[in-house]
Amino acid sequence: MDRKPIVGIPADRRIYTGHPFHMAGEKYLAAVVRSVDAVPLIIPVLSEILDINTLLGHVDGILLSGSYSNVEPHRYAGEPSEDGTLHDPHRDAVTLPLIRLLLENAVPLFAICRGYQEFNVAMGGSLHQKVREVPGYNNHLENPDDPLDVQYGPSHSVALAEGGLLRDLTGKATVMVNSLHAQGVARLGDGLSVEATADDGLVEAFRVADAPAFNLGVQWHPEWRSTEVELSTAMFKAFGDACRERASRRQV
C-alpha cells in the first residue's frame, strides 16, 4: 500500500509565558490533509541545530504558510520596519535558505502569503512594506472588523499570465481572489515568472518556470475553504500530485 506524501510546514516561533513555541495555523494543516491528501509535518525553525539538508530526505513537499509576522527588511536591503512590527527571524533563518535547496533538489514547493514574500526575498527580490502607501497601488488589507468569511471572501480580480501554470489549471484569463496583506512584491526575484497580476499591477503569483519540480507562490489565501474554490482546489491538487510523484520515488 502506497503511503501518503509528507508535507513539511515550517513553523512560526512565538513566545508564550516566557517560553518559545513553534506553531502552524490549523487552516494550513487542514488544507494539506483535505486538499493535498497528504500528512502535514510542522518543522521547528531551529536553524542553529536543525540540518535542513537532512530534512529534505524526509519530506515530499514544503508548504510555506502565511503569518502575522513579516520578513525582516534587512534580508532584502529594505528600510527598518516601523516600531511594533512583528518579525520572526528564526523562521527567516530556516525558510530563506530552504527555498533555494527545494528548487535545486526538485522538492515541490507551495508558498502562500508570507511564504510567497519569503520566496521572492530568497530569490533576490524586495518587498513594499506598506503597499497601500505606494502611489498607484490599492489597499490590499482586509477589514479586521469583518467576519472571517468576509475577510477571506473574494476581494479583487487577478489576471492570469498567458501560457502560465494558473491559466493552464483554470482555463481562465482572470479569477477573483481574497486579499489580506499589507506587504507586497516590489522588485521581482531573479528567475521568477509572473503568474498573476492584480488590477493595480501588483504581482500576486509567480513561479520558477524552469525548475525541475512544481513550485508556486501566491499572495492570497487559497487554504481558506480550499475545497470550495475552483482555483484553490486545482493548485492544491497540482501540488499534491507533485508530492505523490516524489513520494513514489522515495519509496523505491
Closest CA to 221 of 110, 146, 134, 132: 110
Active-site residue 243, yes or no?
Answer: no
- How many whole angstroms separate alpha carbon 63 and alpha carbon 101? 14
**Residue tagged active-site, from 72, 142, 204, 223:** 223
Lookup: cell for 196: 498573476
Lookup: cell for 66: 502565511
Active-site residue 48, yes or no?
Answer: no
Closest CA to 72 of 127, 14, 16, 133: 127
Active-site residue 223, yes or no?
Answer: yes
Assign 142 to helix, strand or coil: coil
**Residue tagged active-site, from 118, 128, 221, 243:** 221
**Residue tagged active-site, from 72, 113, 118, 195:** 113
Assign 159 to helix, strand or coil: strand
Long-range Cβ contact pairs of 16-20 (< 8 A, separation 24 or more):
none
Given a contact cutoff of 8 angstroms between Cβ atoms, the answer to whether 8 and 61 are in contact is yes
| Neighbour-count burial of 101, counting CB atoms closer than 10 A to its CB (0-12 exposed, 13-18 middle, 19+ buried) | middle
Given a contact cutoff of 8 angstroms between Cβ atoms, the answer to whether 12 and 91 are in contact is yes
- How many whole angstroms separate alpha carbon 97 and alpha carbon 91? 11
**Annotated catalytic sites, by residue?**
113, 221, 223
